Amino acid sequence: MGMQEVHHDFMTVLVPIAIEIAFVTIGRAVSTYLCCAAFIGSSLKVETNYQHVLFWGGLRGALALALGLPLELPHRNDIVAVSFAVVAFSIFVQGLTITPLLQRLGEITPIEHQ
């Protein structure tokens, strides 16, 4: 997939990429925190730190759906490019920052270098 997308001019879809990253991040936050809020008074309560990890650690698989769109669909390549960028954001930005988040929340201790 990456080899195919390397030829796409991402500058033409930079604004849609930023908007989509914001939307999926906000949507993930709303869905995570609202769902967890429904269980506050029960034995299924999710601790606040875990809610933060569920929100930030949510990797997306929308790229597979975008790739399944018909080839003749108008703007299909742009849709695939935006989806690729959102997934890349979730892997590189969210994925690489999940350990510092866990450390900051006190869920794991930093590994001391020898």
Q: What number is the average pLDDT over the span 40-44?
A: 94
In-domain check, residue 111: no
Q: What is the pTM of this model?
A: 0.77
With residue 58 as reference, give the H or E element that holds it. Answer: none
> How many domains is the chain partitioned into structurally?
1
Domain around 60: 12-104
Residue 30 is assigned to a structural domain of this protein? yes
Residue 3 confidence (pLDDT) above 80? no
Give the separation between CA 70 and CA 40, rounded to whole angstroms: 43
Q: Is 110 within the bounds of a domain?
A: no
Rounded to whole angstroms, the Cα distance separating 19 from 108 reads 32
112 within domain boundaries: no
pLDDT for the residue 107: 92
pLDDT digits (tens, 9 = 90+) for 67-102: 888 999 999 888 888 888 888 899 899 989 999 999
CB 92 within 8 A of CB 79: no
